[in-house]
Copies of this chain bind each other. A is one copy, B any other.
Amino acid sequence: MIISRRAALKRMAFPLAAIGLPERAGAEVRRSGQDAGTPAQAQRLRKIATEEAWTTPEVAEALRGVVRRGGRNLDLTLLRSIYDAPAGTPPRFLSQLLDAERLRLAEMDAYGVDMHLLSLTAPGVQMFKPDVASTLARLSNDRLAEIVRRHPKRFAALASFAPQDPRAAAKEMERAINTLKLSGFIVNSHTDNAYLDEPRFWPILEAAQGLDAPLYLHPRAPSDGMAEPFRDYRMESAVWGYGVEAGTHAVRLMLSGVLDRFPRLRIVLGHMGEALPFWMWRLDFMGAPGARAAGRPNRLKPSEYFKRNFAITTSGVEDPLALRFCIDKLGADGIMWAIDYPYQPTAPAVQFLESAPLSDRERSLIAYGNAERIFRIGT
Question: Does A228 interact with chain B (Cβ within 8 Å)?
Answer: yes
A90 to chain B, nearest CB (A): 12
B234 and A294 contact, CB distance less than 8 A: yes
Could you pull out 23 A-B pairs where Cβ atoms are within 8 angstroms?
Answer: A190-B229, A193-B228, A222-B226, A225-B227, A226-B227, A226-B228, A232-B255, A233-B255, A234-B255, A234-B292, A237-B286, A238-B282, A239-B286, A240-B248, A240-B255, A240-B279, A244-B248, A275-B278, A277-B278, A278-B325, A279-B317, A285-B344, A321-B325
B255 and A235 contact, CB distance less than 8 A: yes
Q: A226-B227, A252-B233 are in contact. Are A243 and B282 (CB under 8 A)?
A: yes
A286 to chain B, nearest CB (A): 4
Give the number of copies in the complex: 2
B281 and A318 contact, CB distance less than 8 A: yes
A280 touches which one: B225, B228, B292, B319 (CB < 8 A)?
B319
B279 and A243 contact, CB distance less than 8 A: yes
B256 and A232 contact, CB distance less than 8 A: yes
A129 to chain B, nearest CB (A): 23
B278 and A234 contact, CB distance less than 8 A: no
List B contacts of A228 (CB < 8 A): 193, 223-226
A239 and B282 contact, CB distance less than 8 A: yes
List B contacts of A281 (CB < 8 A): 317-319, 322
CB within 8 Å of B: which residues of A? Answer: 190, 193, 195, 197, 222-230, 232-235, 237-240, 243-244, 247-249, 251-252, 255-256, 271-272, 275, 277-283, 285-287, 292, 294-298, 316-319, 321-322, 325, 328-329, 344
List B contacts of A325 (CB < 8 A): 278, 321-322, 325
Chain B CB count within 10 A is highest, among A229, A235, A247, A317, for: A229
Q: A234-B294, A325-B278, A325-B325 are in contact. Are A287 and B226 (CB under 8 A)?
A: no
The 6 closest A-B pairs by CB, nearest first: A225-B228, A226-B226, A281-B319, A239-B286, A278-B278, A233-B255
Closest residue of chain B to A328 (Cβ to Cβ) is B321
List B contacts of A278 (CB < 8 A): 272, 275, 277-278, 322, 325
Complex CA–CA separation, A244 to B156 (angstroms)? 35
A283 and B195 contact, CB distance less than 8 A: no
Q: A226-B222, A233-B295 are in contact. Are A282 and B286 (CB under 8 A)?
A: no
B279 and A275 contact, CB distance less than 8 A: yes
Complex CA–CA separation, A270 to B267 (angstroms)? 30
A338 to chain B, nearest CB (A): 13
List B contacts of A292 (CB < 8 A): 234, 239
List B contacts of A244 (CB < 8 A): 244, 247-248
Complex CA–CA separation, A256 to B252 (angstroms)? 30
